[in-house]
A = this chain, B = another copy of it.
């Protein structure tokens, strides 16, 4: 069964390790997992109910549409101040206000990369809670934490070079594919 999965990076900078990690996923995924990057969310204004009253910004509805059409989501995000980056949270805040809330009953896996050794455990925690509230089917284990990211990606091309990390990721994607298949159709 083919599963169309949308990937989201929680970092907005160009040379982000998290975006690099997100881009490493297609080659590590089982063949029935078709991965595509979510539309950008970096042009969304800060959530404000007064702005919403004037109509949802186009970037919000485009982002939400991509999630609604997907059979699963993978979010790859840094941790800022022990929790979710404000920009990523802002995107969730926007789409959570849509009538047909897009994360509802979507299988979602989480990965994270950080320069420090911990690899983003606390961000994953809070993100799982927000997604549980949105009635997503939040994937549990195996988890993927890429600590000391600067030692695991090629400094020039940002390709993922670390073989043990690749195996952990391939493991998660294989288990996630079975998890997501449960909820399709």
Tell whether, in the assembled complex, residue A87 and residue B84 are in contact, meaning their CB atoms are under 8 Å apart.
no
Which residues of B sit under 8 angstroms from A147, Cβ to Cβ? Answer: 117
Which residues of B sit under 8 angstroms from A47, Cβ to Cβ? Answer: 12, 80, 85-87
Q: Smallest Cβ distance from A140 to chain B, in angstroms?
A: 4
Residue A99 interfacial (CB < 8 Å): no
Q: Smallest Cβ distance from A100 to chain B, in angstroms?
A: 16
Interface residues of A in 55-96 (CB under 8 A from B): 80-93, 96
Interface residues of A in 119-158 (CB under 8 A from B): 119, 121-122, 125-126, 128-130, 132-138, 140-141, 145, 147
Which of A's residues lie within 8 Å of B, judged by CB? 11-14, 16, 42, 44, 46-50, 80-93, 96, 117-119, 121-122, 125-126, 128-130, 132-138, 140-141, 145, 147, 182-183
